[in-house]
């Protein structure tokens, strides 16, 4: 293949250099996209003018206001509420840094890759990345591995059906499931995330079921297609750059850097919105109260004023202040888990896999007004050969 499928072009570069902003419509609620790293950071800090605690679903692009009423927590809150709520749940989301947790992730991923190597060919997205993501999530929830089967059956996105459209019926499957699990945990508390949430205190009272549901919806939705894309895109890269996989085998201490570089380059979450609370300006363009702006992580991560050769993957990149996990007080709470899963996935590849062959693929392209951005693959048919 001449053109490398692991090359993800930067569609924002001209607009970023010339204007600093881009524009897109989203279900008749337009978005002004901030494209420069500096502006993205500044705006992320300024929660008074650019709020997250808007109508539930509105800061997500594409907007989810028509498919959910539950506020996702803590991410659809602003300080000071956000600070207190995040404080309650944050420690739980740092458990992935524990050695025992890492060992358990490693067992899961090793066995998934062993199974995959027995097949002549398989789809990286649905046959490997999705099961890895779903099984690892049982560790984050602290529940039996068995439950992953149910989640795998939901497919790669919990709010979108294969055609990409937001899907209310599909979303309802998730909401009903979470309600049911919370009921069970309320009746019979255990050591799992549902139970821990229901026992936590916020503003001097117990967390409500609706609030616990808000955390669970975010945990299910936020780390799903993002992790799946990250694993799949990294695999495509290694298929086309076997020398990089070899280098990481020789120098495993670089794997952490490689993970950061993949998150920068592939930016699995393109952008996140904010709602403007008062008439203001972004990049010298008027931004009226009650309109939306977005922090375009994917563009900021290719900002040539910050990153040297931004369109190249350098697995040992030295300075890498990327915003792939967001920035400021809202930066991704699932990041320790995502980083651990990616790190171990790469580690297991270096230990077991000798060759990755791409057989077929279908790209996943996001339509963002004036821009088109590749975010991953709908499918990536591959073959893995064990180290000889
Ligand atoms: C929301 C979002 C969170 C949203 C950090 O990102 O991820 C999206 O995939 C979901 O659709 O609801 O959870």
Among candidate residues 382, 338, 384, the one with its CA nearest the CA of residue 362? 382
Residue 221, ligand 1, Cβ within 6 A = yes
- Whole-prediction pTM: 0.97
Q: How far is the CA of 54 from the centre of ligand 1 (A)?
A: 15
Q: How far apart are CA 298 and CA 263, in angstroms?
A: 10
Between the alpha carbon of residue 116 and those of residues 19, 131, 280, the distances in Å are 46, 11, 53
Distance (Å, whole) CA 235 – CA 217 = 28
* CA 88 to chain CA mean position, Å: 22
The pLDDT of residue 158: 80
355 part of a folded domain: yes
> Given this model, what pLDDT does residue 162 score?
60
Rounded to 5 degrees, φ, ψ at 381 are: -80, 125
Separation in Å, CA 268 to CA 48, 62, 364: 27, 15, 12
CA pair distance 78, 82, nearest whole angstrom? 5
pLDDT at residue 1 in the model = 52
In a domain, 3, yes or no: no
> At 141, which CATH number?
1.10.630.10
Instruction: From residue 277, give the alpha-carbon distance in Å to each of 54, 287, 296.
Output: 9, 10, 19
pLDDT at 161: 67
Alpha helices per DSSP H over 269-334: 297-300
Please report the DSSP string for 138-203 in residue order.
HHHHT--GGGHHHHHTT-S-SSB-TTS-B-HHHHHHHHHHHHHHHHHHHHS--SSHHHHHHH-EET
Return the pLDDT at 159. 79
Residue 327, in any domain of the structure: yes
- Beta strands (DSSP E) in the chain are 21-24, 31-34, 50-51, 122-123, 201-202, 205-206, 272-276, 280-282, 285-287, 292-295, 353-368, 371-386
pLDDT of 171: 87
From 76, 216, 218, mutation site for ligand 1 pocket: most ligand atoms within 8 A of C-beta: 218
The model's pLDDT over 36-45, given as tens digits with 9 standing for 90+, comes to: 999 999 999 9
What pLDDT, on the 0 to 100 scale, is given for residue 2?
64
Task: Examine residue 379 and state whether it is found in any structural domain, yes or no.
Answer: yes
- Give residue 187 CA to ligand 1 midpoint distance, Å: 29
Q: Is the CB of 113 under 6 A from ligand 1?
A: no
- Interatomic CA distance for residues 360 and 71, integer angstroms: 39
Domain that holds residue 333: 13-386
pLDDT tens per residue, range 10-23? 999 999 999 999 99
Q: How far is the CA of 311 from the centre of ligand 1 (A)?
A: 26
Using a 6 Å cutoff on CB, does residue 218 contact ligand 1? yes
Which residue out of 222, 297, 325, 331 has the highest number of ligand 1 atoms within 8 Å of its CB and is therefore the one to mutate? 222
Summarised one tens digit per residue, pLDDT across range 235-257 is 999 999 999 999 999 999 999 99
Sheet with 21-24: strands ordered across: 21-24, 31-34, 292-295, 272-276, 50-51
- Whether residue 8 lies inside any domain: the answer is no
Coil, strand or helix at 353: strand
Of 70, 330, 80, 75, nearest to 214 (Cα)?
Answer: 70
225 assigned to some structural domain: yes
> For position 380, what pLDDT does the model report?
98
* Max CA distance (Å), the chain: 63
Residue 136 lies in a domain: yes
| Atom 3 (ligand 1) nearest CA | 222
Residue 362 within a domain: yes
Q: For the chain, how many structural domains are there in total?
A: 1
Tell me which residues of the chain have a pLDDT lower than 70: 1-2, 161-164
Question: By C-alpha distance, which of 19, 29, 83, 39 is closest to 297?
Answer: 39
Closest ligand 1 atom number to CA of residue 68? 12
251 C-alpha to center of ligand 1: Å? 34
């Amino acid at each position: 293949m001449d053109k490398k499928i692991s090359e993800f072009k930067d569609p924002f570069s001209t607009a970023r250099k010339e204007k600093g902003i881009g524009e897109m419509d989203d279900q008749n609620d337009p978005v002004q996209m901030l494209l420069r790293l500096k502006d993205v950071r500044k705006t992320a800090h300024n929660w008074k003018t650019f709020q997250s605690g808007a109508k539930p679903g509105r800061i997500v692009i594409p907007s989810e206001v028509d498919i959910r009423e539950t506020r996702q927590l803590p991410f659809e809150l602003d300080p000071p509420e956000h600070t207190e709520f995040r404080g309650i749940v944050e420690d739980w989301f740092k458990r992935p840094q524990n050695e025992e947790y890492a060992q358990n992730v490693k067992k899961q991923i090793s066995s998934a890759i062993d199974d995959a190597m027995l097949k002549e060919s398989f789809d990286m997205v649905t046959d490997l990345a999705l099961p890895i993501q779903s099984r690892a999530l049982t560790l984050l929830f602290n529940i039996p591995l068995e439950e992953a089967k149910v989640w795998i059956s939901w497919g790669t996105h919990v709010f979108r059906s294969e055609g990409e459209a937001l899907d209310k019926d599909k979303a309802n499957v998730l909401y009903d499931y979470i309600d049911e699990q919370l009921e069970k945990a309320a009746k019979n508390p255990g050591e799992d995330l549902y139970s821990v949430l229901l026992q936590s205190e916020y503003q001097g009272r117990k967390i409500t079921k609706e609030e616990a549901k808000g955390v669970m919806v975010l945990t299910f939705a936020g780390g799903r297609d993002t992790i799946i894309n990250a694993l799949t895109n990294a695999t495509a890269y290694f298929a086309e750059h076997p020398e990089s996989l070899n280098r990481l085998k020789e120098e495993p201490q670089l794997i952490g850097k490689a993970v950061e570089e993949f998150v920068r380059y592939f930016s699995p979450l393109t952008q996140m919105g904010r709602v403007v609370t008062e008439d203001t300006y972004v990049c010298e363009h008027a931004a009226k109260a009650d309109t939306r702006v977005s922090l375009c992580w994917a563009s900021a991560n290719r900002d040539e004023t910050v990153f040297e050769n931004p369109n190249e993957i350098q697995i040992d990149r030295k300075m890498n202040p990327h915003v792939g996990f967001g920035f400021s007080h809202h930066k991704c709470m699932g990041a320790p888990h995502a980083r651990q899963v990616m790190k171990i996935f790469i580690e297991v590849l270096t230990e077991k896999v000798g060759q990755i062959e791409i057989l077929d693929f279908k790209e996943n392209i996001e339509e963002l007004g004036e821009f088109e951005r590749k975010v991953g693959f709908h499918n990536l048919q591959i073959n893995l050969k064990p180290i000889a």
